[in-house]
Amino acid sequence: MSHREELSRFLKSARARLSPAEVGLPEGERRRAKGLRREEVAALAGMSVTWYTWFEQGREIQLSAPMIERLGRTLRLSDTERDYLFGLAQHRPPPLASRLDEEIRPGTRHMMDSLGIPALVIVADWTVVGWNPLVTAAFRDYAVLPRGERNLFKILMLHERYQRDPESFREMASHLTARFKWDYSQTGNPEVFDELIAEMMEKSEMFREFWKCSAIQAHFRGENSTRIPEVGKVRFQHSSYAIEEVPGQRLILFSPKGEEDARKLEKLRALRPELVAP
């Protein structure tokens, strides 16, 4: 079965499961088939009947992303079904959602809690929305911070603890801003960045400098260190990964840089077994 054939089947199925009453239409006369008529779907989605009919028949026509979005809303598609429709119709993922999804899914939570290394989740604007107990032990307790103060970009750029070595801070700030600019370009809701950018422009001279640069960075990994009371200084390498289940969320993992760092982290876990789920 081709994509166009499956697109046709999928749209017919989605149309058939909706009753007129569900979309605010009168039931009217007796219907020969269940669900909405093509002309009703077209009218609700703001499309011509001919255009929708051809699209549902699987003809080689292209709809714009906003039109597919309207069609998805008309057919009451779930988030997964929306993604499926875009995949069939445009052979690519849909545009990023216009809202930030901050819900940590159970699978992600279980995985983070089971890891033996610090792990956290950020959304598009770098707000931290999830973390495991090792993050709290090694870096900071995000639970006591209001959402507006849990922005990782702001913390790294403005907190004095990261500015003690001017040369290394400048290098970090350059990479961070280049990656932040990339994330800003990819978001479906740039408005969520506006307040943060305005604050950074006001408070950080280095941000103002690097924001005006042309450098961007689509992928970022680096190193950092922290002093943990129970074991002393531990160096980490950090890298980030997209969470496939929730577009816009990113998992950041902090792995010990060397053998001595790994031993210190192991000692911390032995001293505080509650930091890792059994």
Q: CATH no. for residue 229?
A: 3.30.450.180
Same domain, 158 and 47: no
Please give the chain's pLDDT, 278 residues, in tens.
578 889 899 999 999 998 888 877 776 666 667 788 898 888 888 888 998 999 989 888 888 888 888 898 899 988 788 888 888 888 777 766 556 788 899 999 999 999 999 999 999 899 999 999 999 999 999 999 998 899 999 999 999 888 888 898 999 999 999 999 988 887 767 778 888 999 999 999 999 999 988 788 888 778 888 999 999 999 999 999 989 888 789 999 999 999 999 999 999 999 999 888 87
- Residue 61 belongs to domain with CATH number: 1.10.260.40
Kindly state whether residues 259 and 185 are assigned to the same domain: yes
Provide the number of structural domains found in the chain: 2
Same domain, yes or no: 268 and 166: yes
- Same domain? 166 vs 223: yes
The residue out of 59, 90, 121 marking a domain boundary is 90
CA 20 from chain centre, in angstroms, equals 35
How far apart CA 96 and CA 221 sit, in angstroms, is 23
Shared domain for 250 and 195, answered yes or no, is yes
Domain annotation covers residue 151: yes
- Domain with 36 in it: 3-90
Look at residues 90, 124, 156 and tell me which one is the last residue of a structural domain.
90
Residues 166, 192 share a domain: yes
Q: Considering the domain boundaries, does residue 226 fall inside one?
A: yes
Residue 271 within a domain: yes
The domain boundary residue, chosen from 41, 56, 90: 90
Looking at the structure, tell me whether residues 240 and 114 fall in a common domain.
Answer: yes
Distance CA 85, CA 96 (A): 14
Residue 252 and residue 171 share a domain: yes
Kindly state whether residue 140 falls inside one of the protein's structural domains: yes
Rg from Cα positions in the chain: 24
- In this structure, the answer to whether residues 203 and 170 fall within a common structural domain is yes
Residues 116 and 254 in one domain: yes
Residue 152 sits in the same domain as residue 71: no
Asked if residue 101 is part of any domain, the answer here is: no
Q: Are residues 246 and 111 in the same domain?
A: yes
On whether residue 96 sits in a domain, the answer given is no
Q: Does 95 fall in a domain?
A: no
